[in-house]
């Protein structure tokens, strides 16, 4: 089975970075593809309990794919839901760009 921690770090890195470079205002094609990408995760993500939690979260909070600010915040909030569940500190969602776009890598 995959290493859930390493897979998680790699996946969050991909998702947050993709959100950070998503267009300010997505056109309908971009929005449709982003919605498909995110919607696929509860079915395809290779950690079944992670996938089912994510599916529940996404039912309560459907993704906002209108543009980068809203998408980055949505993703930050979903990641924080996982952080809280795992007893990790919450991340300040005002610092998403600093972490994933403008700032130095950690």
Contacts to ligand FAD by CB under 6 A: 4-5, 8-9, 11-12, 16, 45, 49-50, 53-54, 76, 79-80, 82-83, 86, 88, 91, 96, 99, 106
For the residues of the chain, what is the DSSP string, one character each?
A: ---HHHHHHHHHHHHHHHHHTS-SS--HHHHHHHHHHHHHHHHH-S-HHHHHHHHHHHHHS----SSHHHHHHHHHHHHHHHHHHTTPPPP-GGGHHIIIIIS---
Q: Whole-number minimum distance, CB 15 to ligand FAD, in Å?
A: 7
> 35 or 91, CB closer to ligand FAD?
91
Q: Compare residues 32 and 40 and give the one whose CB is closer to ligand FAD.
A: 40
């Amino acid at each position: 089975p995959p290493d859930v921690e390493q897979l998680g770090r790699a996946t969050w890195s991909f998702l947050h970075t993709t959100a950070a470079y998503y267009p300010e205002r997505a056109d309908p094609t971009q929005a449709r593809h982003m919605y498909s990408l995110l919607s696929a995760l509860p079915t395809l993500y290779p950690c079944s309990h992670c996938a089912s939690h994510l599916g529940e979260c996404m039912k309560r909070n459907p993704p906002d794919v209108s543009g980068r600010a809203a998408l980055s915040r949505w993703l930050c909030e979903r990641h924080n839901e996982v952080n809280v569940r795992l007893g990790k500190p919450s991340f300040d969602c005002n610092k998403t760009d600093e972490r994933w776009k403008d700032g130095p890598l950690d």
